[in-house]
Structure 1
Amino acid sequence: MIKPVILFDLDGTLIDSTEAILEGFKVAFESFGSVVPSVDKIKNEIGHTLENMFLTLGVDEKRVSAHVHAYKMHYRIISCQKTILLEGARESVIEASRFATLGVVTTKTGEYSTILLEHMDLMGYFDVLIGREHVKNPKPHAEPILKALERLEHDIDSVWMIGDT
């Protein structure tokens, strides 16, 4: 019998990296002498790609890549210390791994997702991780889910996606 597949979103489902994200945006905006958007405005964009977040928050398209770079340089330093595992997440992953093949599908990059999951001692439970750089069309588009299933060599039967985007 083929095991079912459970794919997890990362932010807001397994982890909370809000503090790290907010600090990364603050540093990125301040490094270019820009006014930092309100916490609520930034929080409303979490779950979208960094590029789209900066555009929505008013950064000129020509300056988005520089802002993303500044964000990532700071986020790399603080992400593990300012990201927490959500209550019940570890137990849920461990229990699900007993009867299903697990994966992560996220708009974070695979690099940062792997670092965070290893820091939380959870990476070993996942057979696939699809990050922003692995697809042309990030969530909520179906491409990341389909890419995960392709890597797992699993069809769309008995697949569950758990997350908020």
Structure 2
Amino acid sequence: MPAIFLDLDGTLIDPKEGITLSIRHALRELGADVPEQDELGWCIGPPLWESFAVLLGEKADLDEAVALYRERYADKGMFEADVYDGIGEMLEELRDTGLPLFIATSKPHVYATEIAEHFGLMHFVDGLFGSELDGTNSAKTDLLAHALAETGADPFRSVMIGDRKHDIFGARANDIPALGVLWGFAEPEELHMAEADALAGAPEEVGELVADLLGLE
């Protein structure tokens, strides 16, 4: 069975406000240096532990940092986001392929499901895969391996759509063709270096590129 896997942050929604403000909250509570919001865009995509290791150093109590982040994020940060223009139409077009659609995000599934429901995205998809609160499956490679096992999808006939190198690397590690999108949080060079199979500059380009990658009529 083929399937279409979609990243959430930076692909379907712009979560910058909620994520960066929650990171700043955690850093402030820890007494660490607090970068401006615009300096934290690179934190959107990787697992939180990786981002805090860079911000605080690997010897810091990363679990405490993540807990402080979630203190604010679970309260209001998760809904400080916007669906990108054209995403509803893009998802409708992908639904018209007849292939199952799944959200595949490094974000904990308990948050991701609530976010997807809040923004009306669950209406378009057949399911959602996210990480556990302890970090299990937060790496895209592990997450997509789990999603393939759960769905029985054929990786060679499926596609992963995402905005960061982590999405591309995770797809390639699982033999899934990867489509990078350029409206998220990576510069084009990041996706070229990760060797995405194709790049979409706007949501309206995705349907045709997916059809080309999967050989759909």
Q: How does 1:64-79 map to 2 (within 5 A)?
A: 64-79=62-77
Compare relative contact order (CA 8 Å, sep 6+) and give the higher one, 1 or 2. Answer: 1
Match of 1:58 among 53, 56, 59: 56
Q: How does 1:1-165 map to 2 (within 5 A)?
A: 2=1, 4-59=2-57, 61-98=59-96, 99-133=98-132, 135-136=136-137, 138-139=139-140, 141=141, 143-164=142-163, 165=167
Name stretches of at least 5 consecutive residues in structure 2 with no aligned partner.
168-217
**Contact 1:6/1:103 (CA < 8 Å) preserved in 2?**
yes
- Give the total of aligned pairs: 161
In the aligned structure 1, how far is the partner of 2:79 from the partner of 2:106? 20
Cα RMSD for the two superposed structures: 2.0
Deviation at 1:45, TM superposition (A): 2.5
In the aligned structure 1, how far is the partner of 2:17 from the partner of 2:35? 15
After TM superposition, the score normalised by the length of structure 2 is 0.68
Distance of aligned partners of 1:100 and 1:79 in 2 relative to their CA distance in 1, 3 Å threshold: farther
After TM superposition, the score normalised by the length of structure 1 is 0.87
Identity of aligned residues (%): 30
In the aligned structure 2, how far is the partner of 1:83 from the partner of 1:44? 16
CA offsets, 1:13-43, max 9 Å, x none?
1001001011001111111222202434421
Name stretches of at least 5 consecutive residues in structure 1 with no aligned partner.
none
Distance of aligned partners of 1:33 and 1:137 in 2 relative to their CA distance in 1, 3 Å threshold: closer
Does the residue aligned with 1:77 lie in a helix, a strand or coil? coil
In the aligned structure 2, how far is the partner of 1:81 from the partner of 1:105? 18
Distance of aligned partners of 1:117 and 1:159 in 2 relative to their CA distance in 1, 3 Å threshold: same
